[in-house]
Homo-oligomer: A and B are copies of this chain.
Amino acid sequence: VVWAPFFNRHWIDSAAQSIWSDDNTLAMWIRVEVALAQVQGKLGIIPAAAAERIAEVGRRQEDFDLDVIVADIQRTQHPLVPVLREFERLVGPESGGWLHWGATTQNIMETAQALQLQSSVDLMLANIDAVMKRLIGLATDYRATLQAGRTHGQHALPITFGYKVAGWAYELRRHRQRLVALSPASFVARIGGGVGSYAALDGRGREVELALAKELGLGDPELGGRADFDRQASVVGAAAMAAACCERIAHDLVFLQRTELAEIQEDHYPERVGSSTMAQKRNPTRAQRVVSLARMTRSKAAPALEAMVRQDEGDGMAGGVAEFLVPELCILAVSTFSAMDALLGSIRVDAQAMERNLASSGGSIFAEAVMMHLGRTLGRGTAHRILHEVAAKAAEGGTDFSDEVRRHPHLASLAGTMDLDEIMDPARYLGDIDVVISALADGSATADGRSVNGAEMDE
């Protein structure tokens, strides 16, 4: 498991952990060794019987003694050789000699890691798809629920809650596309041997490699070396960006739950406790958890970039970091996305609170609406200057902006042309919000927007 104190162990997604468990890691190593033998058996590079025997033993992972292996790893200072020795012992002398033929340790470990990375990205996508469905649902359900749009923490213009959610959904959909675009090029099999030259495979290296890739459902590495890490780093980058998107959403959901806003509430069921001392506390714990997990996910991007810089044909300094970082990233990213799903599944939207807050700024949120109206006559710049003064007067005096507009001597003369009640009706100043939400729900918003709802989502 990712290190987690007992009090937040439930933060960590268990499916993601399983992919990187000891058992599954060993299983993936065995799977790669077996696939290599099978491919080489078919190609006549090793005896077919040896390949068969290796595969047979590989099916009985329970025969491998992991405790013995772990102890041997410390003694030999080598991560794979003890596994190979155990494997060879189980296979027996005759066929065991054809195990790991032409391979080096990193080939097995990196190819196995590619399989685990691929499964992890699949799991990320499954969780993101679940989140996308919820977001599209919320955007549609609340497409007309009025809310104050805010920039820099200040009321700016009226929006709807559905529109806010649509903004989240559009962004997350782009991250989903980035993650989808990683396959298959980012998950490759490699069998280039000690320096990636395929020297131990007698001129049939690329042939073996491509066959192995096919056997394992992995991509072509182009060159079987061990000194690049760009594919893995691109997964880290895409996952970290998607996590940052979830962090943005969750951060907003923390804010919207603030006592003074109270536009959103998590599921405060009776057993849930907010504080050991303040009994009234209804904390946005689920939203905060997403933020924390996302920050931890993001923190893997910088060391992943550093781990791309490797010396010569192989470099254990960077490799050692990668062995910890890749699983940690995967587990944290999946946990972020599944916590995001749980969060969205738990929230209640308080439309009345949204309306109350929208009304609380005394009409000043319509300054632009008035300006655009006046601008046709006075010019935009002049109208802006007038309304800037009016708004300042209202703010300083604690009066209503709409009253000040009506009272302003200059604007009074334009009164005939303005129906202020209409201009200051938030439902009439929503621009293309409906268009944007519909396009999202249709999944056809843009040329490059692959649909994530409906059938294609299951790809």
Are B6's CB and A104's CB within 8 A?
no
Cα distance A197–B301 in the bound complex, in angstroms? 33
Are A255's CB and B103's CB within 8 A?
no
Q: Judge if A145 is at the interface, Cβ distance under 8 Å.
A: no
Q: Judge if A137 is at the interface, Cβ distance under 8 Å.
A: no
Known: A73-B10, A260-B357, A431-B198. A384 touches B277 (CB 8 A): yes
Are A379's CB and B305's CB within 8 A?
no
Instruction: Note all chain B residues with C-beta closer than 8 A to A73.
Output: 6-8, 10
Partner of A272, one of B77, B98, B391: B77
24 contacts between A and B (CB under 8 A): A5-B323, A6-B22, A7-B70, A9-B70, A102-B277, A103-B277, A149-B312, A151-B283, A152-B283, A159-B195, A167-B225, A170-B223, A174-B230, A197-B432, A199-B429, A201-B432, A220-B446, A259-B361, A268-B395, A279-B367, A279-B384, A295-B307, A301-B302, A306-B306
Are A100's CB and B380's CB within 8 A?
yes
Are B280's CB and A152's CB within 8 A?
no
Partner of A226, one of B151, B228, B380, B448: B151
Instruction: Note all chain B residues with C-beta closer than 8 A to A261.
Output: 260
Q: Judge if A420 is at the interface, Cβ distance under 8 Å.
A: no
Partner of A258, one of B154, B194, B318, B319: B154
Q: Judge if A13 is at the interface, Cβ distance under 8 Å.
A: no
Instruction: Note all chain B residues with C-beta closer than 8 A to A69.
Output: 6
A240 CB to closest chain B CB (Å) equals 6
Tally of contact residues, A, Cβ under 8 A: 200
Instruction: Note all chain B residues with C-beta closer than 8 A to A364.
Output: 280
Residues 48-99 of A contacting B (Cβ, < 8 Å): 66, 69-70, 73-81, 84-85, 88, 93, 96-99
Q: Judge if A178 is at the interface, Cβ distance under 8 Å.
A: yes
Instruction: Note all chain B residues with C-beta closer than 8 A to A314.
Output: 150-152, 156
Cα distance A422–B371 in the bound complex, in angstroms? 51
Are B273's CB and A77's CB within 8 A?
yes
Count copies of this chain in the complex.
4
Q: Judge if A455 is at the interface, Cβ distance under 8 Å.
A: no
Q: Judge if A212 is at the interface, Cβ distance under 8 Å.
A: no
Q: Which of A80, A99, A153, A247 has the most CB of B within 10 A?
A: A153
Q: Judge if A291 is at the interface, Cβ distance under 8 Å.
A: yes
Q: Judge if A399 is at the interface, Cβ distance under 8 Å.
A: no
Are A153's CB and B375's CB within 8 A?
no
Which residue from chain B places its CB closest to the CB of A294 in the assembled complex? B309
Known: A102-B372, A199-B369. A309 touches B244 (CB 8 A): yes
Residues 300-321 of A contacting B (Cβ, < 8 Å): 300-303, 305-321
Known: A244-B308, A259-B155, A273-B78. A288 touches B320 (CB 8 A): yes
A304 CB to closest chain B CB (Å) equals 9
Mark the stretch among A119-127, A324-332, A407-415 that contacts chain B. Answer: A324-332
Q: Judge if A2 is at the interface, Cβ distance under 8 Å.
A: yes
Known: A4-B324, A320-B8, A320-B288. A99 touches B381 (CB 8 A): yes
Q: Judge if A337 is at the interface, Cβ distance under 8 Å.
A: no
Are B305's CB and A298's CB within 8 A?
yes
Instruction: Note all chain B residues with C-beta closer than 8 A to A369.
Output: 199-200
Are A387's CB and B279's CB within 8 A?
yes
Instruction: Note all chain B residues with C-beta closer than 8 A to A311.
Output: 150, 153, 251-252, 255
Are A151's CB and B276's CB within 8 A?
no
Are B85's CB and A381's CB within 8 A?
yes
Which residue from chain B places its CB closest to the CB of A188 in the assembled complex? B446
Q: Judge if A32 is at the interface, Cβ distance under 8 Å.
A: no
Cα distance A205–B284 in the bound complex, in angstroms? 28
Residues 222-242 of A contacting B (Cβ, < 8 Å): 222-223, 225-228, 230-231, 233-234, 237, 240-241
Instruction: Note all chain B residues with C-beta closer than 8 A to A349.
Output: none
Which residue from chain B places its CB closest to the CB of A365 in the assembled complex? B280
